Amino acid sequence: NYQFSPPTVEVLVGTEVVWTNNDDAQHQVMGGKTFRSGALDTGETYRFKFSKAGTYDYLCGFHPHMTGRVVVKPYVTLTNPQPPDGERAQQDDNRKGREGGRPQVRFTATDPRIRVVVHACGGQGWGQTEDINGDHHGAGNPLFQR
């Protein structure tokens, strides 16, 4: 029926995506310079393993109105969010060892099988380790904030 179905898929890095031609006409999967199938006859498949996170748009080489998208997500992302201006001085104090709240680091696990372990500098120096999977810091929550 001259369309990719579903038109958009979300996968994790390392996933192999398989396209199968279920139409009576030939099709070709073209994702720019990243991936490209040959001509696919009815029932034939094309496979591509996505090794980098990102958004990959593609089209049919024979029917350019047929378009699709693969969104590849990383297993874990790590960001250090910028505080609002009023909290910046407090975070500067924290970095200098003064009392107050802790600087924040945010972990986002997109796969529940990922085990996140934080190695932090505690009062005794480097080497303090906290496992934030399955305890009160992150139980059941894919978004961890420390």
- Reduced to 3 states (helix: H, G, I; strand: E, B; else coil), residue 69 is strand
Residues of the chain with pLDDT under 70: 77-146
Residue with tokens 């009576």: 24
Rounded CA-CA distance 118/115 in Å is: 10
Q: What is the pLDDT of residues 12-40, one digit of tens each?
A: 988 999 999 999 999 999 999 999 999 99
Q: Cα-flanking dihedrals φ and ψ of residue 59, to 5°?
A: -150, 170
Say what the pTM is.
0.59
Looking at residue 106, what is its pLDDT?
59
User: What per-residue string of b and e applies to 11-23 under the rule 16 or more CB within 10 Å gives b?
Assistant: eebeeebebebeb
Looking at residue 1, what is its pLDDT?
83
Element (H, E) at 107: strand 106-109
Looking at residue 19, what is its pLDDT?
97
